């Protein structure tokens, strides 16, 4: 899809030829984050540590595929402000370890993690969160065809000069029926969903899709799992 040129990168699909040299006209019209977003399928964010040396904060981003949040509402917020009161067990179990994790990121190594959700949409971009849906908002019963696995591949790396953190998110949305063609994946998904604590189940809207998903997984895996 891409080829390196003497002055930058050419997109072989769109035929866009990007001059990335210092002083190029590119930088008169595009912010570097825009170029990063146009040259990749990731959303890009920049995070920096406050002068206190303890607080990591979102300071910029190029956001195309959010699920239930708006970049303009989170710019300037700390990790605590972004997650506390929203993510289950964040305050009790996750906050301190996440702060340490971000502060310890090194410039010579990239760090990768994944998360997932069961979504009722195949769209990459949808501003309505899968975490706040309910039966009343849908006005219809959930069907197997609606169920998709939404996975985010998150990669973090500290930048060597500014010491800021480049944080990318690549989003994949795949129909459950396609995901579960691999029975090992189907079995792992059933085990994971069955292990949700009450607060995590509520956060992920398990009550909305659980019966449909579990019946399907039990059917293809033969042996039901007791929750």
pLDDT at 10: 94
pLDDT at 28: 95
Indicate the pLDDT class of residue 124, thresholds 50, 70 and 90.
confident
What is the 8-class DSSP label of residue 120?
S
* 177: CB partners within 8 A, 6+ apart: 144, 145, 216
Length of the chain: 227
pLDDT at 37: 85
pLDDT in tens, 169-222: 999 999 999 999 999 999 999 999 999 999 999 888 898 899 999 999 999 997
pLDDT at 41: 85
Q: What is the pTM of this model?
A: 0.84
d(CA 26, CA 43): 20
């Amino acid at each position: 899809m891409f080829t390196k040129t003497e002055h930058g990168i050419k997109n072989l699909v769109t035929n866009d030829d990007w001059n990335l040299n210092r002083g190029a006209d590119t930088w008169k019209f595009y912010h570097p984050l825009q170029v990063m977003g146009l040259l990749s399928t990731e959303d890009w964010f920049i995070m920096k540590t406050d002068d206190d040396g303890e607080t990591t904060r979102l300071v910029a981003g190029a956001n195309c595929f959010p699920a239930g949040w708006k970049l303009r509402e989170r710019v300037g917020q700390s990790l605590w402000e972004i997650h506390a009161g929203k993510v289950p067990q964040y305050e009790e179990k996750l906050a301190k370890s996440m702060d340490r994790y971000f502060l310890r990121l090194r410039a010579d190594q990239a760090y990768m993690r994944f998360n997932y959700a069961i979504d009722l949409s195949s769209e990459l971009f949808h501003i309505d969160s899968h975490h706040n849906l309910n039966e009343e908002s849908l006005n219809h019963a959930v069907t197997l065809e609606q169920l998709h696995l939404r996975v985010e591949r998150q990669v973090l790396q500290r930048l060597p000069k500014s010491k800021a953190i480049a944080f990318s998110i690549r989003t994949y949305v795949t129909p459950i029926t396609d995901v579960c063609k691999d029975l090992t994946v189907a079995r792992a998904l059933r085990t994971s969903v069955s292990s949700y604590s009450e607060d995590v189940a509520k956060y992920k809207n398990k009550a909305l899709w659980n019966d449909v998903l579990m019946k399907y997984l039990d059917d293809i895996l033969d042996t039901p799992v007791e929750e």
